Amino acid sequence: MGQATDRFNIRWAALSTELADVLRDRSAGAAVSDTEPALRVARDDARNYVVLCDPAARLRVRETMG
């Protein structure tokens, strides 16, 4: 499972770094673009995934139904 979600973790880390840079520049008084809200949403979207099941798993429906 870790291998499957690794891309999301890498994307989250890259977006977090970019957002931190924007926030640091803004707090230092630099003029920054208005990308902060979009960066926050993209970062949160990259991090908040849940694996609900194994897509390779199969249920034995015939055996359990009767």
Distance CA 4, CA 19 (A): 25
- Overall pTM surpassing 0.75 (yes/no): no
- Per-residue pLDDT at 1: 67
**Is 46 within 8 Å of 12 (Cβ atoms)?**
yes
**Is 19 within 8 Å of 40 (Cβ atoms)?**
yes
Q: Average pLDDT of 16-37? A: 88
- Per-residue pLDDT at 35: 82
Tell me the pLDDT tens digit for each residue of 39-58. Answer: 999 999 888 777 777 767 77
